[in-house]
Amino acid sequence: MAHTTRIPPAEITGVRGALIKRMIEKKLGKVPTAVGVYWHNPRVLFASFGLGGKLRKWDACDESLKSFAHMAVASLVGCTWCLDFNYFESRNRGLDVEKAREIPRWREADVFTAVERDVLEYAEAMSQTPPTVTDELVDRLHTALGPSAVVELTSVIAFANMSTRGNVALGIESDGFAAACGLRPLAERPKVASV
């Protein structure tokens, strides 16, 4: 896909660059535009990769809930890259793709459980400025998931805000991963913001 990022992607060079490209191409089939943009500052790129990798190893909270939460943040913030990539990853990780494709219109969709709806609401509430998280919402999540999972979910949502907002600010958009593997287009977000 053609991109017009606010910082043009750098050429990924050197031994580290060659290794990164090979590793990413093996996993994804191509190197995302975001990697070229962030290659201007490899320390930032590798720190983000490192934190993202650590988050993937956490297991107190269900993978679907964390993935859906990240997508809810991306939908609210407008990060087409994160929405596309997480939808693609949902398929690759055996998560519920039909639910994932409905994230942009989760309030109207009838496919989500009560706990999933609370997670999506929590992701959006944490992403507001200022945050609109309520005691009642956290109490419901605490009862349903337990304290360890809520702490993990909160950290995943915070990371999602960092990555989605950075991508939007830099003009990084979808690389078409979901479309390339034949997934149906994501549902459209309603025109009125859901708050």
Q: What percentage of the chain exceeds 70 in pLDDT? A: 96
pLDDT at 163: 97
pLDDT at 194: 47
Per-residue pLDDT at 2 exceeds 60: no
Mean pLDDT of 174-188: 92
Per-residue pLDDT at 25 exceeds 70: yes
pLDDT at 181: 85
**Residue 80 identity (one-letter amino acid):** T
Mean pLDDT of 14-23: 97
pLDDT at 129: 96
Count of positions (residues) in the chain: 195
Sequence-separated contacts (24+) of 116-119 with Cβ below 8 Å = 116/64, 116/65, 116/68, 118/144, 119/65, 119/68, 119/69, 119/72, 119/153
Taking only the tens place, the pLDDT of each residue in 29-68 is: 999 999 999 999 999 999 999 999 999 999 999 999 999 9
Mean pLDDT of 11-27: 96
Mean pLDDT of 155-181: 96
Per-residue pLDDT at 157 exceeds 70: yes
Per-residue pLDDT at 192 exceeds 80: no
Per-residue pLDDT at 193 exceeds 70: no
pTM assigned to the model: 0.93
pLDDT at 4: 85
Cα separation values, 46 from 17, 66, 73, 107, 159, Å: 11, 22, 22, 36, 15
